[in-house]
Amino acid sequence: MSDSGQGKEIVQRGLYFDELEVGARYAHRPGRTATEADNVLFSSLTMNTQALHLDAAYSESQPFGQRLMNSMWTLSTMVGASVSQITQGTLVAQLGLSDIAFPAPLFHGDTLYTETEVVDKRLSSSRPGQGIVTLRHTGRNQAGDVVATATRVALMWCAPVDGRES
């Protein structure tokens, strides 16, 4: 923060390790409405030629009756939704993702809403000024159905000792 004579300047950032509380749940808003363009572009960029994402005629003959959003788009968007509120500028590194599940489909036109719960945290024993945080992401569609879950382990900065933002 600085005062340039024009008033207080506040730079958006995530939360430091010290500010995260086990059990706290963060609702990330606004949601993100999935589009056909998202699905085709993401699938093409990642070289995923799965017909369930790209071929409407084929998908109509399959159990869900329509194209499915690429599950990796869903996962990426779910994690991405948490960045500005939790890890923007306070993340050192993402250490891993696990327990990824897609219990219900996401379709074009559905809106993905994400929430993140802080499951665990501990100071790093080998990296002073940093801590390891376990986050549980849950993605729901507009009807509240869980469409994705994932556990993410992140290495986070602790708050600066001198109180200054970096």
* pLDDT tens, position by position, 53-110: 999 999 999 999 999 999 999 999 999 999 999 999 999 999 999 999 999 999 999 9
Within the chain, where are the H helices?
36-45, 51-54, 56-60, 71-82
- Locate 99 and state its tokens: 């327990």
- Locate 142 and state its tokens: 């507009």
Task: Calculate what percentage of the chain has a pLDDT beyond 90.
Answer: 90
CA 154 to chain centre: 12
Q: Which residues pair with 133 in a beta bridge?
A: 121, 154
CA-based Rg of the chain, rounded to a whole angstrom?
19
pTM for the full predicted model: 0.89
Q: Which residues of 130-162 are buried (b: 16+ CB within 10 A; e: fewer)?
A: ebbbbbbbbbbbeeeeebbbbbbbbbbbbeeee
For the stretch 10-23, pLDDT in tens is: 888 999 999 999 99
Phi and psi torsions of 102, nearest 5°: -130, 80
Higher pLDDT, 146 or 164: 146
Strand stretches in 53-145, DSSP E = 91-101, 111-123, 130-140
For the stretch 37-57, pLDDT in tens is: 999 999 999 999 999 999 999
**CATH 3.10.129.10 corresponds to the domain 12-157:** yes
